[in-house]
């Protein structure tokens, strides 16, 4: 709940959903969902679960039969979430991971991935006019977050996605999953492939590191390139500040978090979240925790 949300009485009819990760105490998902729950007047609660590093599968398996409505799943359990599911959406299959599990009354677990939805929501809400199909996209990273980004942009018609990762074998493995529209680019060649890029996405925890400097890199990008960092703590990362200094439009990770939470809320509670200023609520929480 948000700090201002009063305590609510729970009943035998209260719907329960949550988020599972390790660690999970930093997650803003309970803030978002409980604010929506309160505004909508739903008899529900959204809580955080922290299974042990090796305990997610047993934990999720014990929820079969609809003990709770579902889970959002964050690192490091997204691939485990996909593996345990009985029914897998096409989005989750393409992304190779699941960030949303739904527990049906018949005991089956349904897996979906709303990260791509959140990614595109963030671009469209913070960079109006951005068209994924208009130019190549550059993605930094080759892990689960990067794979989700590649899948989302390919589905939206991006002519090419260029994957940059320090481990060339890992980048090549990701590219093989998607075919000829994905190209592996060595980190040393990153600046050379930014001139015609429509978007640059940091899908790594660290970003660019020290070389080349963010400003020098962003100055190699065309003026139409939109830069996103999936990190939302802090909101204004070094990566985004470098892009803004170079005059490029930026998209932050908080907008992506909100975007992926919207379809999750709908899946849990059967209705779209109410139209409240959820970003302001999340920002207030981030500021109070700083």
What is the set of active-site residues? 78
Q: b or e along 143-155 (b: 16 or more beta carbons within 10 Å of the residue's beta carbon)?
A: bbbbbbbbbbbbe
Number of other CB atoms surrounding residue 194 within 10 Å: 22
- 200 touches 187 (CB < 8 A): no
- State the DSSP code for 194: S
> Which residue is associated with the tokens 């980190």?
187
Residue partners of 70: CB distance under 8 A and separation at least 6:
17, 100, 101, 102, 103, 264, 267, 268
Element (H, E) at 227: strand 226-229
Token digits of residue 245: 């200094």
């Amino acid at each position: 709940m948000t700090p201002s949300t009063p305590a609510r009485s729970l009943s035998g009819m209260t719907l329960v959903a949550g988020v599972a990760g390790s660690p999970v105490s930093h997650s803003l998902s309970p803030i978002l969902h409980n604010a929506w729950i309160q505004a909508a007047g739903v008899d529900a609660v959204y809580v955080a679960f922290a299974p042990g590093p090796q305990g997610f599968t047993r934990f999720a398996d014990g929820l079969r039969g609809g003990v709770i409505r579902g889970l959002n799943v964050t690192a490091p359990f997204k691939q485990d979430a996909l593996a345990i599911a009985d029914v897998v959406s096409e989005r989750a299959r393409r992304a190779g991971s699941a960030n949303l599990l739904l527990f049906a009354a018949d005991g089956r677990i349904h897996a979906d991935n709303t990260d791509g939805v959140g990614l595109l929501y963030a671009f469209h809400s913070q960079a109006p006019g951005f068209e994924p199909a208009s130019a190549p996209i550059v993605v930094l990273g080759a892990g689960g977050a990067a794979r989700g980004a590649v899948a989302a942009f390919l589905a939206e018609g991006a002519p090419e996605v260029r994957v940059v990762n320090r481990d060339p074998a890992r980048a090549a493995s990701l590219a093989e999953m998607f075919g000829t529209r994905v190209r592996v680019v060595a980190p040393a060649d990153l600046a050379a492939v930014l001139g015609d890029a429509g978007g640059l996405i940091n899908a790594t925890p660290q970003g660019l590191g020290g070389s080349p400097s963010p400003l020098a890199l962003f100055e190699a990008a065309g003026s139409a390139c939109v830069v996103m960092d999936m990190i939302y703590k802090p909101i204004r990362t070094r990566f985004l500040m470098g892009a803004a200094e170079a005059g490029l439009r930026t998209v932050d990770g908080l907008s992506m978090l909100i975007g992926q939470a919207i379809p999750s809320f709908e899946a849990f509670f059967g209705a779209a979240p109410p139209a409240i200023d959820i970003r302001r609520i999340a920002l207030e929480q981030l500021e109070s925790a700083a």
